């Protein structure tokens, strides 16, 4: 074939030239299906031209090549990303595939129905009505994007892909749960290969090493009518014990003093409870790390007793 001979001669001469600069290794290829790729030439073999793309390695068969011209490393690095639109009935499977495929350099991976630079909102909405029909999906989406359909069949995951510029399909079947095989298949679906292992999944912190910070006491905690409550929230058992050791005898003294002022049993109970609350709030505030409290109590002119609590931080 004429183009085969021309390409082989061109590559043989360019790759053997010792004075060739690195930029000469980059080529812009126009493929017969309409796609344009900027690649780095690896070698020319009997089966075609072995090239490297930002997404991985691939072989361009001679009959697939329509045109080739020189390019630069900047052209290679700044060419548009590939778009990969994924359709699957099983949410867990599509999530796993998207996580892996998103690790492929220079590939944007989205679910079918997502609007992108290449796919308008109208086209994305139209694709949603196609379900798992690959031909319908390819017709609904804009030219220039990859499309993958994923089916879970028992213990296997079946994948089939196409490019909206071509009618060719690629197929792969991997065992469900085989992360490495799914990683390789995510490349195969776009016609590229990789020798890199699947990226490790992010690991959550192990519970055995998790440290639960103690809760800092809040200003309102001192007003809870439970001796030592702020210290209890902070996990300080010593201060909890101190709060009870102070509150109980002071409350007992207050109850005795209130009994001499009360005009009835009900009033005595009310004064006792009021005193307990005032003492508890004061002690709680006092036993916070930077708290201070002052409690003052005495008989009122109208009978009964008056309790005044002043707390500061």
pLDDT single digits (tens) 1-42? 444 444 444 444 444 444 444 445 999 999 988 889 999 999
Give me the torsion for CA of 136, 142, 143, 145, rounded to 10°: -90
- Pairwise pLDDT comparison (108 vs 217), residue with the higher score: 108
Task: Compute the residue count for the chain.
Answer: 313
Contacts of 306 (CB under 8 A, 6+ apart): 297, 298, 299, 300
- Pairwise pLDDT comparison (50 vs 199), residue with the higher score: 50
Structure tokens at 8: 């082989």
Matching fold, domains 2-11+23-77 and 82-188: no
For the chain, the domains span 2-11+23-77, 82-188, 219-312
Taking 60 as the threshold, does the pLDDT of residue 203 lie above it? no
Q: Which residue has the tokens 């699957």?
A: 88
Burial string for 123-153 (b: 16+ CB within 10 Å, else e) reads bbebbeebeeebeebbebbbebbbbbbbbee
CATH assignment of 82-188?
3.40.50
Residue 160, SS3?
strand
pLDDT on residue 310? 54
Q: How confident is the model at residue 288 (pLDDT cuts 50, 70, 90)?
A: low
Determine how β-strand 107-111 pairs with β-strand 169-175.
unpaired
pLDDT on residue 24? 58
Nearest CA-CA partner of 283 in 224, 215, 218, 216:
224
What gap in Å lies between CA 27 and CA 48, rounded to an integer? Answer: 15
What gap in Å lies between CA 118 and CA 135, rounded to an integer? Answer: 18
Q: What is the arrangement of strands in the sheet containing 82-88, beginning at the earlier edge strand? A: 107-111, 82-88, 146-153, 156-163, 169-175
As its CATH architecture, domain 2-11+23-77 has Roll (2.30)
Give the least confident one: 45-59, 81-95, 187-201, 273-287. Answer: 273-287
pLDDT on residue 158? 94
- Percent of the chain at pLDDT above 70? 78
pTM over 0.85: no
Structure tokens at 10: 């061109």
Phi, psi at residue 143, to the nearest 5°? -60, 155
pLDDT on residue 298? 54
Mean pLDDT score, 43-49: 92
Give the model confidence (pLDDT) of 109-139 as tens digits.
999 999 888 899 999 899 988 988 888 998 8
Phi, psi at residue 264, to the nearest 5°? -150, 170
């Amino acid at each position: 074939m004429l183009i085969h001979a021309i390409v082989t001669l061109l590559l043989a001469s360019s790759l053997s030239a010792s004075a060739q600069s690195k930029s000469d290794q980059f080529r812009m290829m126009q493929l017969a299906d309409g796609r344009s790729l900027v690649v780095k030439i690896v070698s020319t073999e009997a089966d075609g031209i072995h090239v490297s793309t930002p997404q991985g390695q691939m072989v361009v068969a001679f009959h697939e090549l329509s045109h080739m011209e020189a390019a630069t490393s900047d052209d290679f690095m700044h060419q548009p990303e590939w778009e990969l639109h994924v359709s699957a009935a099983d949410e867990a499977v599509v999530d796993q595939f998207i996580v892996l495929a998103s690790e492929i350099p220079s590939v944007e991976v989205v679910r079918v129905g997502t609007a992108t630079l290449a796919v308008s909102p109208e086209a994305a909405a139209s694709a949603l009505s196609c379900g798992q029909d690959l031909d319908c999906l390819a017709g609904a989406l804009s030219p220039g994007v990859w499309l993958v359909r994923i089916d879970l069949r028992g213990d296997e995951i079946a994948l089939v892909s196409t490019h909206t510029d071509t009618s060719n399909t690629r197929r792969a079947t991997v065992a469900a749960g085989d992360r490495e095989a799914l990683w390789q298949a995510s490349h195969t679906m776009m016609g590229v290969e990789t020798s890199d292992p699947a990226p490790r999944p992010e690991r959550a912190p192990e519970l055995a090493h998790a440290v639960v910070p103690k809760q800092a006491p809040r200003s309102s905690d001192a007003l809870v009518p439970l001796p030592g409550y702020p210290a209890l929230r902070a996990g300080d058992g010593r201060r909890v014990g101190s709060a009870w050791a102070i509150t109980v005898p002071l409350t007992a003294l207050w109850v005795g003093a209130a009994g001499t002022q009360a005009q009835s049993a009900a009033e005595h109970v009310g004064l006792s409870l009021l005193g307990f609350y005032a003492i508890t709030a004061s002690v709680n505030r006092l036993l916070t790390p930077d708290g201070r409290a002052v409690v003052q109590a005495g008989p009122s002119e109208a009978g009964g007793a008056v309790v005044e609590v002043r707390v500061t931080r």
